[in-house]
């Protein structure tokens, strides 16, 4: 891509970051140049964030309906998967899956719940009764 064709479309991240792209200058040599954004990339990012918002809302609704524990909600809210949460808590992935069930979550002792709260960066009270 030529330096003159480098996209400089405005995005939500324009005030936070810019992307380094390698472009050809007037002499045909590659050099690094900063781009403030590209509409196609912005649309893809917005779509991904909307999907995340939908997943958080679904997890919230499952919790409110009594079909899921707060662990599911906070995993979605904090963008964690089983591997990440397992790394923070030291619990096996299958245990975390089990703890997502309210029946098993309610039987957890304070020490285990505190591990989850610490991993999510919240208090034990917030873990037990999420504030939406």
Kindly state whether residues 113 and 62 are assigned to the same domain. Answer: yes
Question: Rounded distance, CA 132 to CA 122, Å?
Answer: 13
* The pLDDT of residue 13: 65
CB atoms within 10 A of CB 84: 13
Q: Does some domain include residue 102?
A: yes
Kindly state whether residues 25 and 64 are assigned to the same domain. Answer: no
Kindly state whether residues 82 and 124 are assigned to the same domain. Answer: yes
Per this entry, what is the length of the chain? 132
Q: Does some domain include residue 26?
A: yes
Domain of 115: which CATH number? 1.10.260
Q: Between vectors from CA 14 to CA 12 and to CA 19, what angle results, nearest 5°?
A: 115
pTM above 0.75, yes or no: yes
Quick: pLDDT tens for 76-130: 999 999 999 999 999 999 999 999 999 999 999 999 999 999 999 999 999 999 9
Report the interhelical angle of 39-64 vs 70-77 (nearest 10°). 170
Kindly state whether residues 33 and 61 are assigned to the same domain. Answer: no
Q: State how many domains the chain has.
A: 2
Q: Which domain holds residue 22?
A: 7-37
Partners of 19 in beta bridges: 35
Residue 27 tokens read as 């002499």
Kindly state whether residues 30 and 61 are assigned to the same domain. Answer: no
In three-state secondary structure terms, 35 is strand
Question: Rounded distance, CA 106 to CA 34, Å?
Answer: 51
Kindly state whether residues 123 and 82 are assigned to the same domain. Answer: yes
Kindly state whether residues 63 and 120 are assigned to the same domain. Answer: yes
């Amino acid at each position: 891509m030529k330096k003159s064709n480098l996209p400089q479309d405005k995005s939500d991240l324009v005030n936070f970051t810019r992307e380094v792209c390698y472009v050809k200058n007037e002499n045909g040599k590659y050099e690094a140049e900063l781009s403030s954004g590209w509409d196609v990339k912005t649309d893809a990012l917005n779509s991904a964030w909307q999907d995340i918002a939908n997943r958080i809302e679904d997890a919230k609704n499952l919790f409110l309906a009594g079909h899921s524990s707060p662990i599911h909600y906070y995993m979605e809210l904090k963008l964690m998967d089983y591997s990440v949460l397992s790394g923070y808590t030291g619990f096996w992935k299958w245990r975390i899956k089990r703890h997502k069930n309210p029946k098993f979550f309610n039987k957890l002792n304070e020490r285990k719940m505190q591990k989850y709260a610490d991993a999510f960066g919240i208090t034990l009270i917030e873990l037990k009764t999420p504030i939406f």
